[in-house]
Structures are given as C-alpha cells and as structure tokens.
Amino acid sequence: MAKYYGYRKCSHCEIVCTPGNYLDYNNKRYCTACWIQHENPDHPDLEAIREKVQNAVSTWKLAKYSRDEYHLPVGPKSINKR
C-alpha cells in the first residue's frame, strides 16, 4: 500500500482516514468508528474505537513527514574519478 493512500476523508464524520482505519463501501469511505456505528449502534466500545481512530490520525500525520526517509540518492559514481 502506498504511504499517502489514506489522504481521503470519511464521508460521514470528515476525519482523515489513516491506512488500516477505513472501509470503502459503495464508493464511499468510512472510518472504522463510523462503520461500526452504522452497522451496530449499540456497540459497547464505540467511544473507545472513535478515540483510537482520532489518535491514529495525529500519530500518522507526524510519522509521514519523517526526513530520515527522504534523503537524496547517492547515484552512480563518475567513471573519471577512479
């Protein structure tokens, strides 16, 4: 999966969907909390799941801009500098 695949937002609550915390259904994207609320509104851990999804967004946004992964390539060595 691409690193920036989760940029789209949930069609219900408009929260950014992070990789692994969303579901696509009928051309709409749902975060896991909204999907569980849609399918089972009486779920006992619904608030905990919603909080987990919101915390994952803040963690993911910090992790995707890591400078350690985006260095310049070394490239091929010049043949004249042996």
Task: CATH number of the domain at 16, please.
Answer: 2.10.110
- Structural domain count of the chain: 1
pLDDT of 68 > 80? The answer is no
Determine, yes or no, domain membership for 64: no
Determine, yes or no, domain membership for 21: yes
14-41: pLDDT as tens digits: 888 888 888 888 989 999 999 999 899 8
Determine, yes or no, domain membership for 82: no
Determine, yes or no, domain membership for 31: yes
Determine, yes or no, domain membership for 80: no
- In terms of residue numbers, what domain contains 52? 5-59
Determine, yes or no, domain membership for 52: yes
Record the pTM.
0.64
Q: Are 31 and 22 in contact (CB under 8 A)?
A: yes
